[in-house]
């Protein structure tokens, strides 16, 4: 009987799971890893970004239901499970000065209170590894920043039986990573490859698409080779039809160039309770059988892993 590893990816909105780490998840699913996406909000305040669907009154009036259906299709394509945490999208405030966030939205919740449903989900699913966003959210969307906050709080609390005692039996994930797939090194490499091939127009479009993610350099610790699943990632992205234009900048780098020049998805190891060596090529580095048996003081050990 084979022991099964489990991965939980915590995201802010439907479509985030397909733009950040999707090929990694699809790869792990193909190897027998159990993968669960935790989606914090329903994306209710998201705009229709695909110009082909803008102006559709029915879609705009039913955006919450539409985005849930898109999410269901994307998860089926990736082969992952998915759970909603039930918070309300905060929207992305714009203007000078910035308008206040809507009352009751996710970003205005108390962190300790908002972490409880994620702690409960962690204790139910019992992931060995989690992924989330860095402290600036990858980019400064208030829901992404809040996702970081509750993910880190839940990672710390889930293994402590004294915290959230009504949320189930304690379970301690052993590693948590920040998604860094949309990093400047990747953008520069792909942009250079387009220019080398004389594809200047595509290069300019690619830079425009990646502009929101180009203002920070982060430490990249983990490089997961997953180019065989880039096509699956792209199919999952286009399942979010209200958000993603299949003819837009996200897809301006031809797949064969992407696979040749940058065949990995990147992560920043935020915390590990097991020994590992950097750089890594596997989110489960240090957790492959035989499983570690060194307990973490005051926390639940994963030395006994449930057989799938």
Residue 22: partners with Cβ closer than 8 Å, 6 or more residues away: 78, 229, 232, 233, 236, 237
3-state SS assignment for residue 54: coil
Q: Is 144 annotated as a binding residue?
A: yes
Q: To the nearest 10°, the Cα dihedral for 239, 240, 242, 245?
A: -70
- For residue 306, the number of C-alpha atoms closer than 13 Å in the C-beta half-sphere is 11
The count of residues in the chain is: 308
Sheet order of strands, 81-87 included: 81-87, 34-41, 6-11, 129-132, 175-179, 264-272, 222-225
3-state SS assignment for residue 252: coil
The answer to whether residues 7 and 267 touch, using CB atoms and an 8 Å cutoff, is no
Cα gap 64→46, rounded to integer Å: 9
Q: Is 215 annotated as a binding residue?
A: no
Cα gap 203→137, rounded to integer Å: 26
Residue 11: φ, ψ to 5°:
-130, 160
Q: Is 141 annotated as a binding residue?
A: no
Concatenating the DSSP letter of every residue in 120-150 gives: HHHHHH--SEEEE--TT-SS--HHHHHHHHH
The answer to whether residues 82 and 37 touch, using CB atoms and an 8 Å cutoff, is yes
Q: Which residues are annotated as a binding site for Zn(2+)?
A: 13, 16, 144
Q: Which residues are annotated as a binding site?
A: 13, 16, 144
């Amino acid at each position: 009987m084979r022991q099964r590893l489990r991965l939980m990816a915590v995201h802010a909105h439907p479509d985030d799971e397909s733009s950040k780490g999707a090929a990694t998840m699809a790869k792990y699913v193909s190897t027998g890893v159990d993968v669960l996406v935790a989606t914090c909000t329903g994306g209710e305040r998201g705009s229709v970004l695909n110009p082909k669907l803008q102006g559709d009154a029915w879609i705009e009036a039913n955006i919450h239901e539409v985005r849930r259906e898109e999410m269901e299709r994307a998860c089926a394509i990736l082969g992952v499970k998915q759970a909603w945490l039930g918070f309300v999208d905060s929207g992305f405030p714009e203007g000078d000065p910035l308008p206040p966030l809507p009352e009751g939205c996710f970003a205005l919740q108390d962190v300790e209170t908002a972490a409880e449903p994620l702690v409960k989900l962690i204790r139910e699913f019992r992931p060995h590894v989690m992924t989330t966003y860095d402290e600036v959210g990858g980019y400064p969307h208030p829901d992404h920043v809040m996702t970081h906050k509750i993910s880190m709080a839940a990672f710390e609390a889930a293994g402590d039986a004294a915290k959230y005692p009504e949320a189930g039996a304690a379970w301690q994930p052993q590693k948590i990573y920040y998604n860094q797939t949309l990093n400047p090194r990747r953008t520069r490499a792909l942009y250079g490859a387009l220019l080398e091939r004389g594809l200047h127009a595509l290069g300019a479009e690619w830079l425009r698409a990646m502009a929101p993610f180009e203002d920070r350099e982060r430490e990249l610790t983990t490089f997961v080779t997953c180019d065989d699943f880039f096509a699956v990632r792209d199919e999952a992205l286009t399942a979010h039809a209200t958000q993603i234009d299949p003819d837009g900048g996200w897809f301006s780098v031809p797949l064969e160039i992407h696979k040749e020049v940058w065949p990995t998805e990147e992560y920043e190891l935020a915390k590990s309770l097991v020994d590992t060596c950097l750089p890594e090529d596997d989110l489960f580095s240090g957790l492959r059988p035989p499983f570690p048996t060194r307990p973490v003081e005051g926390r639940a050990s994963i030395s006994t892993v449930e057989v799938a």
